Amino acid sequence: MTDPLTTDQLHRPQPVAALEAGGTKFRAAIIDADLGIVDQMRVPTTTPDATLGAVTDFFAGHSTISALGIASFGPLVVDRSSVAYGSIAPTPKPGWAGTPLLDHLRNTLGVSAEIQTDVEAAAVAEHRIGAGRGHDSITYVTVGTGIGAGVLVDGEPFRGRDHTELGHIPVRRVENDEFEGICPFHGDCLEGMASGPAIQARWGTTPSSLGGRDDVWNLEADYLAQLALVLTYAFSPDKILFSGGVGARKHLAPRIAAATARHLGGYSVSRAPDSDLVATAALGNDAGLIGAALLAQSLLSSELSTPQEVIR
């Protein structure tokens, strides 16, 4: 799409392309060097051909972009030894399983491109300029249509062969809770018990219609605190940041914090019982997009100073 950049051009701040690929919508943007949004568009997530066609048409109208960062819904193939790296893994999203998201966009647009999961990208953004700034290790948790978590250890996303899937951890049922859960894989895993659709199925109305009811949000906080407990024991983060349509709800973080302290039962190596471990993320709906832009900027940095580790 663009001619190769000269060294002088590379040394000047360049706008980058950022894409947040979500299960319900794709959000594409041109981001300047100060992480300001120059232009953006949204398109519903329908078929790969229609959705990616709209995205590439948008980016094709901006000849100045020099790199693309992608923050994608999962499951996503993140094993770099796989020929399917950057592709959507088996998913209930109709038509998207096996879509080579990274390769398609990189080849169609003709620019350097890299990919992360949406929660990894959001975690990087919160760590760099949001509520996780100044902390070495944080976890970003989004609670909405699903539940996902991006874990940063020493400022870098943690991965094994695959990315983390902490929304599917088993949870201990709250006493007298007989809700079956809605996860198509596990039934009553965390996502099946505490995601936005689970709340709606349990209470018969949308989360936004439930006001400040203590019975609703104390129950929700108890299940989310079980995730915070696992994160604390497994990764010992400095901060656990909640976001998403449900997770960023006002006054939910203090409820999760109180429930987490209760579940910890006084066990802690160095953290005070009244610590500020649990908080609300700061960047709201822009976290994934900003993370994608930071990923693209890291590609430009690597072109200027090879070898250099790219944020992954």
What is the model's pLDDT at position 270? 66
Query: Domain span at residue 73?
Result: 7-117
What is the model's pLDDT at position 307? 45
Looking at the structure of the chain, the number of domains it has is 2
Note whether 112 and 137 are same-domain residues: no
> Alpha-carbon Rg of the chain, whole angstroms?
20
What is the model's pLDDT at position 273? 55
What is the model's pLDDT at position 303? 67
Question: Which stretches of the chain drop beneath a pLDDT of 70?
Answer: 1-13, 269-275, 303-312
What is the model's pLDDT at position 10? 45
Spatial strand order of the sheet with 25-31 comes to: 37-44, 25-31, 16-21, 67-72, 112-117
Which of 117, 142, 159 is the C-terminal boundary of a domain?
117
301 occurs within a structural domain:
no
Note whether 162 and 212 are same-domain residues: yes
**Can you tell me the distance from the alpha carbon of 75 to that of 164, in angstroms, rounded to the nearest whole number?**
9
What is the model's pLDDT at position 67? 96
The pTM assigned to this predicted structure is 0.88
Note whether 37 and 150 are same-domain residues: no
Give residue-wise pLDDT tens across range 82-95: 999 999 998 878 99
Note whether 148 and 211 are same-domain residues: yes
Note whether 139 and 267 are same-domain residues: yes
292 occurs within a structural domain:
no
Note whether 153 and 276 are same-domain residues: yes
Listed in sequence order, the residues at least 6 apart from 161 whose beta carbon sits closer than 8 Å to its beta carbon are: 79
**Can you tell me the distance from the alpha carbon of 54 to that of 288, in angstroms, rounded to the nearest whole number?**
19
Degrees, nearest 5: CA angle 238-312-190 = 55
Note whether 113 and 151 are same-domain residues: no
**What's the CATH number where 145 sits?**
3.30.420.40
What is the model's pLDDT at position 9? 47
Note whether 173 and 247 are same-domain residues: yes
